[in-house]
A and B are shown apart, each in its own frame.
Chain A
């Protein structure tokens, strides 16, 4: 009988159920504390709406289609920024990892750009780029660019020289070297960078929308603030968090799939 709890705790299905229950109870606790705070202090909804108010506002915004419209704009900006930022970072990272000369030439500018608060650059981009969708994508790309670049360079530089020698002994072309050795070798680090990038892209998109946009969840927050529609602000905030979490989860799934070989026993 003493063995039963032990074997139960090792059952993966039981473990998964336990994890779900734990997550659900932590969420319930959070909502309870939130509702309690609102009731105890008797806040009006425009200061701090309770979970019920936010839920009602969510249903309303979902029903009239405004939430989906704004959320899809932001999602497009986030994805666009992610693709743009990650592809430029990959290309530049490859060149910098391969060429010490280019590294010395370009790296000071990249570091300087990083020291530059991108938020402060965003108003300038309003002057330069008229299309708010493209502008916001660029802001998102800029925010995630540096951390992703650093990861890519670190990943490509970690490729074992002996594996490179082996590939050279097999007369691998430069492209084969990249696609068969360097890319798979750097993949774990690249995916870690992509996870960071996915969440940073959401931040970047909101910044981009704050400085000048008439659509998107960042715009919706600004709009709701003007209308003192605090429940709507919460709805937009939670939707942003959901987008960030969803992207993070997608990259994690991709990681599980691509790095499945690591789990082979």
Chain B
């Protein structure tokens, strides 16, 4: 198993009156798997991702990468955030090469690796552009390339295409599947779009409203490579319905509170 979560809980704030974000989450991921995590807003999806990335510590339980417990940010785990988080003063090339720069790689070496990843996300020709010169979808592709240069075993994506229009999003999902295949990387992706999760994943995990507990773990036995033809396939539609049945309807409380 590449990733193991054992009874992971996370609460925030005042210990006397804590806000329980996640409660008793346990699941495992195999190497090479593509898992999507869905749930209503405020279900702690982003919190769970940040726990796995080592940016937050669980209040109880443990997270193992292979056999090693995660104690902090780790080069084996890469995360792509909701916003592209590119540095506006750096070109695409320097943004993508940033993880290698922090590791102290020589300029020649890090540009060589960065250029290869830029080509993989089909941004070649834009190496010397600044982020504000790119579209939102291109910025997110640069962010994915920046995560890929670290050569992570596990890539976490936190609703990376959430802010993009439907067509761009669909295109980037296809790109993501292509990258998943090409790089043989393990992916855990947060999304709130059920149809997207079913189309992409080998498994869909459903989180409940706060406190987030794991409500369902649904295997998606659809053949790969996945194509648009699936969108009208009855097996696909049945699975979408099945996942949807597990999701809590958003309540006013769930919508009005945004998790940190």
- Report which of A167, A180, A264 forms a contact with B130, defined as CB distance below 8 A: A264
Partner of B99, one of A163, A168, A170, A264: A170
CB pair B85–A264 under 8 Å, yes or no, is no
Chain A minimum-CB-distance residue to B133: A264
> How many chain B residues touch A (Cβ–Cβ < 8 Å)?
27
A residues less than 8 Å from B75 (CB atoms): 171
Is the beta-carbon distance between A168 and B85 smaller than 8 angstroms?
Answer: no
Q: How distant is B188 from chain A, measured CB to nearest CB, in Å?
A: 14
**Could you tell me if A163 and B85 are in contact, using CB atoms closer than 8 angstroms?**
yes
Verify B81–A261 contact, CB threshold 8 A: no
Cross-chain contact of B150 among A165, A167, A170, A259 (Cβ < 8 A): A170
User: How far does the alpha carbon of A265 sit from the alpha carbon of B79 in the complex, in Å?
Assistant: 29
The reply to whether A171 and B81 form a contact with Cβ atoms under 8 Å apart is: no
Find out whether the CB atom of B130 lies under 8 angstroms from the CB atom of A168.
no
Total cross-chain contacts (CB, 8 A): 54
By DSSP majority rule, is chain A's interface helix, strand, loop, or mixed? helix
> Given A165-B55, A261-B130, A264-B133 in contact, is the A172-B102 Cβ separation under 8 Å?
yes
CB pair B102 A261 closer than 8 Å: no
Q: Are B81 and A166 in contact (CB under 8 A)?
A: yes
**B171 near A: Cβ within 8 Å?**
no
Contact mask for chain B residues 79-112; partner A; CB cutoff 8 A; 1 contact, 0 none: 1010101011110000000110110000000000
Instruction: Output the least CB separation between B154 and chain A (Å).
Output: 12
A170 touches B73 (CB 8 A): yes
Q: Which residue of B lies closest to A258 (CB)?
A: B89
Interchain residue pairs with CB less than 8 A apart (20): A162-B81, A165-B50, A166-B79, A166-B81, A168-B55, A169-B53, A169-B54, A169-B55, A169-B73, A169-B79, A170-B73, A170-B150, A171-B72, A171-B75, A180-B98, A184-B87, A259-B89, A261-B88, A261-B90, A265-B133
